[in-house]
Amino acid sequence: MDKKFCSDQCRNSYNNKLNSDSNNYVRNVNNILRKNRRILMELNPNGKSKTHRDKLGEKGFDFNYFTNTYTTKAGTVYYFCYEYGYLPIDNNFYALVKRQEYV
């Protein structure tokens, strides 16, 4: 037998402790991304709308976290939290969009 641990419980305990820091980080980032998505979804119920940066900030939106970007041929950059995206436009306003064909 090639056992490293006395039991499944010991093995699980060891691995949980080993991964706890990174798991907490990942969990925290995922929570921020989900919150951002919820905010975008709430402010954009019909798939296309516009809102002010202050409105996003009031709801706790964190602009430092997004899942991906999309750059148009013209060089315009949309930021996405999963299928909900935003585009900075004039005077601290944002165009909100929803990507239909999300993979």
pTM of the predicted model, to two decimals? 0.79
Asked whether the predicted pLDDT for residue 49 surpasses 90, the reply is yes
54 phi/psi in degrees, rounded to 5 = -60, -40
Alpha helices in the chain (DSSP H): 8-43, 53-58
Mean pLDDT of the chain: 92
Lowest mean pLDDT among 9-13, 31-35, 75-79, 89-93: 9-13
Q: Which residue has the higher pLDDT, 10 or 79?
A: 79
Torsion angles phi and psi, residue 24, rounded to 5? -65, -40
